């Protein structure tokens, strides 16, 4: 799931609603256009510099060293953050939203206003991909494991599809809901609870129907009948897992990956890329497939939506806290000291906004990162179990997915199952040119994930302890979020945030 665009949407629409950030900076028209141009130019300068530099180093050395790849991975993350910062400055410093709504006169225009508000983000993001393309291409060609077909245009459209395919329908439904709400029930804003209900309704519609959009927007076709399909169907029966179809996602053999979408089995697809099915053997594909089933079996989609609802409550509490801090005498005096910095600059408002933004970003980075890595690990364990025979004295190992599907999923991981999954994971990383030791905010580094699985090998007590810990985490996680929502409701923080 592309987090970056969700943060952009949050910055553009939600934070704006919550805080009502307005002309805090007294730039004139030319100044504001200058800020927009400079923000995009900064992204272009950094990403092209990184792209060219990496390509030059690879050309010079004839290969991409581990050190270079690692440095590039970090640079890529810096560019991603820069894209968001540049968009934030366009939104808040240049006050882009008022340019669209007031200067272009598009307030309340159906969809067009929202699209134009998001446009600078899309431009910045495409600029960044374009800039980094030189690096991606030379690193990929240097490893020669995956072909490079189609050039820049194919690369950009792949990137766009990968990160926008799921997010755009969500945005569309969300904005449609808001537009319809504004048009047909303008008084809804006065009642926070009705609005919360509406958000819930829109959210569930998105969750249920998004996979259908993914199906329509990705170049994918059903996995043809054959030995692999039959084995995967056996695995699905063993797990009690249902989906609408198993799809092969055609990426021009440039991406080794898999994914699952949909909380409702009728609209649920498992996606396997063309290169994944080509490069991994059938047992490894089953292990990866098992990982995706694990996300569904462990209800990660539900828990994530729950996480975001709880996060809304936590951020609204933070906003209330910031407000409280600044209305104390010393806090207020300190903030208002900044009032005359620029024409129309309101110190209290700016500091309050800044505090909320920083708190929200830190919270999302730490909280969301932790939860996703934990969920990835749970799915990894499930992936191992999907190809484990469950026998105490394996090997000899029983090929569980060759049979009729009568044998359920093993409670514990066997050594052969563990090896199958771990080699699949390592292979996926290598084929995609990902360094094993590179850290990943959302998935955890490959090396660490494998080391964790190895720590479970032949140690049933450790496996049981992990399963118990997992269950305990769910209970604590759910309780904490319910408590946050309750606190936000009780203190009025949520109602306040929603009525802004
Ligand atoms: Zn996963
Ligand atoms: Zn076994």
- Over residues 347-393, the pLDDT tens digits come to 666 777 777 777 777 887 788 888 989 999 999 999 999 999 988 78
Which one of the ligands is nearest to 391 CA? 2
SS3 of residue 24 by DSSP: coil
CA 183 to CA 264: how far, in whole Å? Answer: 31
Lowest mean pLDDT among 67-71, 184-188, 208-212, 348-352: 184-188
Domain stops at, among 106, 137, 165:
165
DSSP 21: -
Pick from 141-150, 253-262, 347-356: least confident: 141-150
Do residue 161 and residue 279 come from a single domain? no
Q: Is residue 125 part of a domain?
A: yes
What is the reported pLDDT for 420? 96
Higher pLDDT, 376 or 207: 376
With the C-alpha atoms ordered 338, 343, 349, 352, is the resulting torsion angle positive or negative?
Answer: negative
| Residue 112 pLDDT grade (very low, low, confident, very high; cuts 50, 70, 90) | confident
**What is the secondary structure of 324-361 as a DSSP string?**
HHHHSHHHHHHHHTTTTSSTT--HHHHHHHHHHHHHHH
| pLDDT at 227 exceeding the cut of 70 | yes
Q: How far is the CA of 110 from the centre of ligand 2 (A)?
A: 58
Does residue 306 belong to any structural domain of this protein?
yes
Compute, in angstroms, the gap from residue 386 CA to the centroid of ligand 2.
11
Contact 90, 42 (CB under 8 A): no
- 199 within domain boundaries: no
Which residues, listed in sequence order, are joined to residue 248 by a DSSP beta bridge?
A: 221, 272
Task: Report the pLDDT value the prediction gives residue 1, as an integer from 0 to 100.
Answer: 44
Overall number of domains in the chain:
2
CA angle, corner 198, sides to 192 and 200, nearest 5?
A: 105
Domain boundary among 110, 143, 165: 165
Calculate how far, in angstroms, residue 207's C-alpha sits from the geometric centre of ligand 2: 37
Who wins on pLDDT, 298 or 211?
A: 298
More confident residue, 15 or 318: 318
Structure confidence at residue 4 (pLDDT) = 80
Residue whose structure tokens are 């099915």: 277
Reference 430, options 2, 94, 64; nearest CA is: 64
The DSSP element (H or E) to which 140 belongs, if any, is helix 112-143
Q: Which residue has better confidence, 464 or 59? A: 464
User: What's the CA-to-centroid distance between 406 and ligand 2, angstroms?
Assistant: 16
Q: Which ligand is nearest to the CA of 425?
A: 1
269's enclosing H/E stretch is strand 269-273
How confident is residue 60, by pLDDT bands cut at 50, 70 and 90?
A: confident
Nearest ligand to the C-alpha atom of residue 413:
2
* Residue 376 maps to a domain: yes
Which of 131, 165, 199 terminates a domain? The answer is 165
Please identify every residue whose CB atom is under 5 Å from ligand 1, which is an ion.
376, 379
Protein residues within 5 Å, CB atom, of ion ligand 2: 389, 394, 397, 414, 416
- Quick one: average pLDDT of 257-277? 89
Residue 139 lies in domain? 1-165
List, edge to edge, every strand of the sheet that includes 220-222. 220-222, 245-249, 269-273, 258-261
Backbone φ, ψ for residue 247 (5° rounding): -115, 145
Q: CA-based Rg of the chain, rounded to a whole angstrom?
A: 25
Higher-confidence position of 368 and 165: 368
Expressed in angstroms and rounded, the spacing between residue 404 Cα and the centre of ligand 2 is: 17
Closest to 427 (Cα-Cα) out of 253, 260, 272, 257: 257
Q: 291 C-alpha vs ligand 1 centroid, how far in Å?
A: 6
- Buried/exposed 130-159: b ≥16 CB within 10 Å, e otherwise: bbbbbbbbbbbebbeebebeeeeeebeebb
- How do 269-273 and 245-249 pair as beta strands? parallel
Cα of 298 from ligand 1 centre, angstroms: 11
Estimate the crossing angle of helix 151-164 against helix 167-184, to 10 degrees. Answer: 50
Name the strand (E) or helix (H) holding 246. Answer: strand 245-249
Largest CA distance in the chain: 78
Flag whether pLDDT at 207 surpasses 90: no
- Ligand 2 centre from 215 Cα, in Å? 35
Closest ligand to Cα 384: 2
Ligand nearest to the CA of 395: 2
pLDDT at 293: 96
Identify the nearest ligand to the CA of 407 by its number: 2
Q: What is the dihedral of CA 407, 413, 417, 422, to 10 degrees?
A: 140
| Better-predicted residue by pLDDT, 105 or 448 | 448
Tell whether 209 is covered by a domain: no
Other C-beta atoms lying within 10 Å of the C-beta of residue 400: 26
For position 500, what pLDDT does the model report? 45
Structure confidence at residue 192 as a pLDDT band (50, 70, 90): low
203, part of any domain: no
| Distance between CA atoms of residues 235 and 408, nearest Å | 9
Name the strand (E) or helix (H) holding 260.
Answer: strand 258-261
Give pLDDT, residue 479: 92
| CA atoms of 424 and 283, how far apart (whole Å) | 9
> Has residue 259 been placed in a domain?
no
Tokens describing residue 156: 């950009």
Q: Are 354 and 277 in contact (CB under 8 A)?
A: no
- For residue 247, the cross-strand partners are 222, 271
pLDDT confidence band for 32 (50 / 70 / 90): confident
**Ligand nearest to the backbone CA of 257:** 1
Spacing, Cα 293 to ligand 1 middle (Å): 9
| Strand 245-249 versus strand 258-261 pairing type | unpaired
101 against 75, higher pLDDT: 75
Give me ligand 1 centre to Cα 312, in Å. 24
What one-character-per-residue DSSP string does 55-74 give? HHHHHHHSS--HHHHHHHHH
pTM above 0.75, yes or no: no
Q: Which of 422, 356, 401, 485 is closest to 21 using CA atoms?
A: 356
Average pLDDT over residues 452-459: 92
In-domain check, residue 459:
yes
State whether 360 and 482 are in the same domain. yes
Percent of the chain at pLDDT exceeding 70: 81
Residue 394: count other Cβ atoms within 10 Å of its Cβ.
17
């Amino acid at each position: 799931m592309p987090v970056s665009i969700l943060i952009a949407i949050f910055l553009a629409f939600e934070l704006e609603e919550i805080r009502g950030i307005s002309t805090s900076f007294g730039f004139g028209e030319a100044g504001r256009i200058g800020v927009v141009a400079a923000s995009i130019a900064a992204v272009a300068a950094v990403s092209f510099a990184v792209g060219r530099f990496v390509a030059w180093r690879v050309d010079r050395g004839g290969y991409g060293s581990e050190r270079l790849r690692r440095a590039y991975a970090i640079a890529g993350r810096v560019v991603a953050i820069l894209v968001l910062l540049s968009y934030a400055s366009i939104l808040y410093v240049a006050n882009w939203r008022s340019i669209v709504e007031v200067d272009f006169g598009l307030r309340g225009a159906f969809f067009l206003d929202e699209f134009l508000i998001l446009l600078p983000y899309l431009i910045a993001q495409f600029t960044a991909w374009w800039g980094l393309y030189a690096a991606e291409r030379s690193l990929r060609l240097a490893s020669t494991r995956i072909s490079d077909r189609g050039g820049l245009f194919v690369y950009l459209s792949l990137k766009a599809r990968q990160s926008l395919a799921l997010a755009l329908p969500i945005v569309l439904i969300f904005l449609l809901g808001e537009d319809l709400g504004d048009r047909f029930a303008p008084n809804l804003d006065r009642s926070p609870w009705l609005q919360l209900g509406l958000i819930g309704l829109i959210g569930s519609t998105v969750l249920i129907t998004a996979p259908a959009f993914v199906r329509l927007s990705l170049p994918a076709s059903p996995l043809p009948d054959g030995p692999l399909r039959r084995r995967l169907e056996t695995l699905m029966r063993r797990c009690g897992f249902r989906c609408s179809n198993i799809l092969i996602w055609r990426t021009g053999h440039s991406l080794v990956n898999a994914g699952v979408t949909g909380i409702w089995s009728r609209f649920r697809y498992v996606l396997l890329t063309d290169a994944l099915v080509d490069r991994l053997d059938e047992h490894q594909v089953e292990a990866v497939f098992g990982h995706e089933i694990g996300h569904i079996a462990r209800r990660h989609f539900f828990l994530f939506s729950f996480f975001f609802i709880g996060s809304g409550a936590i951020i609204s509490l933070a906003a209330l806290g910031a407000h409280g801090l600044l209305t104390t005498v010393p806090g207020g005096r300190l903030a208002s000291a900044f009032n005359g910095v620029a024409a129309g600059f309101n110190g209290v408002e700016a500091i309050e906004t800044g505090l909320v933004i920083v708190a929200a970003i830190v919270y999302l980075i730490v909280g969301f990162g932790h939860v996703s890595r934990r969920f990835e690990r749970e799915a990894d364990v499930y992936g191992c179990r999907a190809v484990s025979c469950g026998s105490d004295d394996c090997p000899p190992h029983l090929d569980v997915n060759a049979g009729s599907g009568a044998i359920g999923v093993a409670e514990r991981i066997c050594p052969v199952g563990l090896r199958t999954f771990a080699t699949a994971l390592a292979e996926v990383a290598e084929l995609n040119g990902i360094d094993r030791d590179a850290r990943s905010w959302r998935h955890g580094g490959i090396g660490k994930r494998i080391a964790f699985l190895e720590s479970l090998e032949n140690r049933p007590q450790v496996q049981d302890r992990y399963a118990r810990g997992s269950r305990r985490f769910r209970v604590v996680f759910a309780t904490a979020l319910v408590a946050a929502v309750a606190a936000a409701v009780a203190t009025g923080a949520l109602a306040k945030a929603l009525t802004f």
